[in-house]
Structure 1
Amino acid sequence: MLLSLILHTAHAALDELRFDAMLDWQNNPYSGSYQNAYIKVTQQLCAAMANSALTPPKTYGFQGIGVDLQQSFSFIDSSSELKDPPSSWSLMTEDEAAQRHLWIPEIQLRKGLPFSMEVGSKIGYIGNSKLGTYGAWGRITPLEGYKEGPDLSFQIGYSGLVGSDQFALGVMDIGMVIGKTFAFGPYVDLKSAHVTPMLTFGQLKTKSLLRIDNELQETMNIENYSSMPQFISPKINQENTSPNYIAAGVQILNNDFRFQLNYRNTFGTLTTLSSSIGFLY
């Protein structure tokens, strides 16, 4: 399945997202809402590039370091057909036929800290585009290592978009992860291979700041928006810009090598499948 998605992505390039491309559709003036299409595209971009809270809640410890290679596929509101009314992504691309999903490969680095805390960072690339992503997060695990119950952690982080001259995007993730580690055998501490199923709940806070000239903004009647906390960004036009999400996944750890497979549903926005491989040091 993942291979077929990669092959499809390679033949469906994501053109540069541009607001002036929205002014017409199939060589006729577009009469729909530019603001609605703009919010749909930017909200789906934010959800796709947000930090994944879905990693086992058990932290690495003060000396622990983790390095992961992750790829994710997010299914966006687009179509390969020129239909009317158009999808938001098709409207915002010059060839009016955007790809059906976003492929984002990433490199992630995690570092354990004292008191069951952990920090991490990432850099990524949005496939077949000129756009990239970055992010950082922190986690704390108040419940960890109890054999009779699950581990529980809380995460807060921020991700941003680079490479666009049309808008600046940011997304803050706030989530809670519940997970439990089981050995491939009766004794967790005496086996090198473990499996950890996990579940997470959370919310995204998003913002988009336009970088186009004022004349085009007034012509299209589009505006900045932000649902970020006030100390990060003034709250403006924040309706429907704080989607909730739920995710489920599993990690398989063998000695220092690990593999993860995750599914996330950002309600009313998009769904994302992701997988990763990595090492613990």
Structure 2
Amino acid sequence: MRARLILLGILGLLWSTSASAGDNDFRLYRLSSCREGTMPGSTCQAMPNIQAFKDLSKSLGLVFAPSFLSPSESLGEAGFAIGFETKFSVAASGSHWNALDGVDDESPPLFTLLQLHGRKGLPFSFELDMAASWLVDSEMVYLGGGLKWSLMEGWLVLPDLSVRGHGGTVTGSPDMNLTTAGFDVSLSKSFGLGGVFSVTPYAGYSHVWIISSSRVIDADPGFGATPSGGYSPEFVFEQENQNTSRGFVGLRFIVDYFTFTAEGNFSSDVQNYALNIGADF
């Protein structure tokens, strides 16, 4: 009971901390330019950079998309696990990062996410998971979940095999709607060491879909005129549907109820390195 209260407190802390804007928040009007219109003085015909929006959406989707951070074996029908995770994301450079408050060039920062992650075993080797994560130095929070099925586990010398589907959405951005979905396939094998603890290496493939769109954006936020005639600063980025693949490798150590897991997942746009400290029951 005490552990559950502590973990709920951590989740509340993450949620409250995210209530202030930071350098990792972004403003989509920076992915547009103004063309001179017909009004005297400051005029603007919005010219959105659609490719930059697609690149930003894809990169942020890969930053927020969940890591696997567990072996292919299931918890069992009565089992559950809970853990605290930290993820570091390294993204490729690009002009789309100019949308971030803390970026003055095309080089993105090292992104850090803090996450609370719970998993519950179900009958027939299924497993349900829920997660809430916060992008440090921003107002953005990811809420998501997934369902894993261990098709093969505990078969003598053969590795365990599982598939997982997952989905989630990002809240806290005043400009963008961002949703991710995907599936993973993984293999793992546990080894006992000295009867004291076990180690489980795992590896797999993940495919991620990223769905994004914007709310109404003002390309000329410093000018307070009402849109009319040749002055048309407002625009919308229409829905973009993108998908990409990534591979992942990880290693889990377990001593009694306590677990420590390290994982890396890699794509051409973003590399994520994640750590999990938790307990399995």
Whether the 8 Å CA contact 2:90–2:270 is kept in 1: the answer is yes
Q: In structure 1, what is the Cα distance between the partners aligned to 2:32 and 2:209?
A: 29
Aligned equivalent of 2:114, options 105, 111, 121: 105
1:263: which partner in 2? 264
Q: Structure 1 pair 119/218, CA: closer, same or farther in 2 (3 Å)?
A: farther
2:90: which partner in 1? 75
Instruction: Point out the more displaced range, 149-158 or 99-108.
Output: 99-108
Q: In structure 2, what is the Cα distance between the partners aligned to 1:178 and 1:203?
A: 16
Q: Structure 1 pair 218/172, CA: closer, same or farther in 2 (3 Å)?
A: farther
Aligned equivalent of 1:59, options 53, 69, 74: 74
Runs of 4+ with deviation above 2 angstroms: 13-16, 21-24, 90-99, 213-223
- Deviation at 1:48? 1.2
Q: Structure 1 pair 145/275, CA: closer, same or farther in 2 (3 Å)?
A: same
What are the within-5 Å matches in structure 2 for residues 6-155 of structure 1?
14-23=23-32, 34-78=49-93, 87-93=95-101, 96=104, 99-155=108-164
Q: In structure 2, what is the Cα distance between the partners aligned to 1:64 and 1:252?
A: 17
The code of the aligned residue for 2:27 comes to R
Q: In structure 1, what is the Cα distance between the partners aligned to 2:88 and 2:49?
A: 26
State yes or no: 1:174 paired with 2:183.
yes
Aligned-partner SS, 1:170:
strand
Whether the 8 Å CA contact 1:180–1:198 is kept in 2: the answer is yes
- Give the strand-richer structure, 1 or 2: 2
Q: In structure 1, what is the Cα distance between the partners aligned to 2:263 and 2:52?
A: 28
State yes or no: 1:201 paired with 2:216.
no
Q: 1:80-110: CA deviations, max 9, x gaps?
A: xxxxxx6321244376357512110100000
The code of the aligned residue for 2:197 comes to A
The code of the aligned residue for 2:250 comes to G
Whether the 8 Å CA contact 1:21–1:94 is kept in 2: the answer is no
TM-score, structure 2 as length reference: 0.77
Q: In structure 1, what is the Cα distance between the partners aligned to 2:100 and 2:31?
A: 5
Aligned residues: 238
Aligned-partner SS, 2:243:
coil
Q: 1:203-247: CA deviations, max 9, x gaps?
A: 001100211259889877843212xxxxxxxxxxxxxx2100100
> Which structure's relative contact order is higher, taking Cα pairs within 8 Å and 6+ residues apart?
2
State yes or no: 1:211 paired with 2:219.
no
The code of the aligned residue for 1:271 comes to Q
Q: Which runs of 5+ in 1 are unaligned?
A: 1-12, 79-85, 186-190, 227-240
TM-score, structure 1 as length reference: 0.77
Whether the 8 Å CA contact 1:112–1:118 is kept in 2: the answer is yes
